[in-house]
Amino acid sequence: MRNPIPGPRFPLITRLQAIYHDLRGNGAQHLDKLHQKYGPIVQTGPKRLSVGDASGLRDVYLLPRRLDRPAPLSVLHNYGSENLVSTVDGDLHQDRRGPLRNVFAVGAIESERVQGGIANAVKHLIERLDAHAGADSEPVDLRPLLRAALQDAMSVVVYGHDNALSVQKDEKQRVAMKIDNEWQRTRFFNMWTLIDFYLPGLALQLHRARLAPKTAYGYVPKDIYMNKVGRRALERLRDPSYRENGADTDTMIFRLVSKFQSEGPSAALPSDEYILSDCLDHFWAGVITTLDALLPTIEHLSQPENQQRQQRLRQELHSAMDDDHLGPKELSRTLKALPYLDAVLRESIRLRPPIPVALERRVSAREGSIVVHGREVPEGWNVSAAASVLHHSQNVFEKPEEWCPERWLVEGSDESEMRKERARVMKRHFFAFGSGSRMCIGVNVAWSIMRQVIAAIYGGMETRVDKGLKQKTRLGREWKVMVRLRNIGSGRKSQMEH
């Protein structure tokens, strides 16, 4: 085995340099420079290393092992309980993932129930956008409009139609969810989150001494609207007759409650609080990460230099959807097969991954040492990869800082075989949803929602940027995408409005 791990000397002693760059907002650039200088594997702190290519991803994430998370990250807890994402132990994580696999599988997400819920949310989004699409209309901030649509869609996936939100149509819900939106933002962007993330040992001591803030103990305020939604759904599912005759059986909360009722408490499914925590976490994860993928997609398409690309996307949508009577399920499959739509979304996520930070795993005593790029990594080390590094590799992506959807297209060229191989290499380095046993379980629903939203907007609208496009600040203050919308007549297909 080759040792030691390449890297500068300072990280052998402390993580302070990496933390400093993270807090300044250029942590991804700093890590990328380290990989450019030292290669695909680099030491970033005491007993910490980062991998920066597909081979490293395979060694860390894709082999049949279940590495642990390095720390509990109590900031992710709800109702005083951990959930799937915050679970440290790799084996326990797999046990908890089991009941949810069928909920988020391709077949389940492409079902009439889920696709109908997504289509309904997108229909209401387009209705709201239409109000801003006049010739003399002011520019509109798309973030709150998209967020409301995503909340409506994700509530169907997690809680079912009987408990689904109608934020876009119900003014009372819209007002109530403003409290939830602010709570969700502030709970993750505060001093405790920094301590929990960068100083987990100190965070654990403060937690045990009961000196941490309420959020560290998974506190969910009673006035949070999604708290009421989750508890109402849970109460309904406690009724056996409702579970057997009235409930959506392929929702996340149904699967968890049914398993809990039939098998009783276990380490994997210990309590009602765990069920509420896991459902709330998946609901917000689906909303926030999908929103953070859609906004840069629209931002790029709305730039003056990308108007031809916007038109190319529109032409692909119109050509593919000649049939005005596609149902939600058929529409989903049609959109999934569109190469330019896929390229536009994939390229936007490549440049702006919703989770750009490193995803860490700990080499546990249970698994024993692992080998990464031919180097032995002993137990107790943290290993990680970051989408922001993998997606900007100059060895993989030509001009990686440029937004170029065409890089993902493989047909229509004398060099098609070469392009196909290049696309395969790029996809092996695509890390927006993680990889391996802890890969984002909601990846299929995220792709489906993104396709429908972008197709619905650009099937019948034109977007252009306006002043104040982006207001970007640190520590979680939201940035805006301000665009002018213009209807372009009968281009929007009727199936978008089913």
Annotated binding site for heme: 440
d(C-alpha 276, C-alpha 163), whole Å: 14
| DSSP 3-state of 199 | coil
Nearest-5° Cα angle at 121, 118 to 127: 140
Calpha distance 343→341 (Å, rounded)? 5
Q: Which positions make up the binding site?
A: 440
What is the edge-to-edge ordering of all strands in the sheet holding 461-465?
Answer: 140-141, 482-487, 461-465
- Helix, strand, coil content of the chain in percent (nearest 5): 55, 10, 35
**What secondary structure letter does DSSP report for 137?**
P
Buried/exposed 130-146: b ≥16 CB within 10 Å, e otherwise: eebbeeeeebbebbbbb
Rounded-to-integer distance, Cα 461 and Cα 453, Å: 12
Burial of 190 (C-beta count, 10 Å sphere; 0-12/13-18/19+) = middle
The number of residues in the chain equals 498
Asked if 71 and 212 count as a contact pair (C-beta separation under 8 A), the reply is: no
Pairwise CA distance, residues 194 & 19, whole Å: 10
Q: Are strands 48-51 and 41-45 parallel, antiparallel or unpaired?
A: antiparallel
Close Cβ partners of 230 (under 8 Å, ≥ 6 residues apart) = 159, 253, 276, 279, 280
DSSP string for 151-182: HHHHHHHHH-GGG---TTT-HHHHHHHHHHHH
Is residue 329 classed exposed, middle or buried when 0-12, 13-18 and 19+ CB atoms within 10 A define those classes? middle
> Please, are residues 173 and 167 in contact by the beta-carbon 8 Å criterion?
yes
DSSP secondary structure, 404-415, as one string = -GGGG--SSSTT
**How far apart are alpha carbons 163 and 226 in whole angstroms?**
10
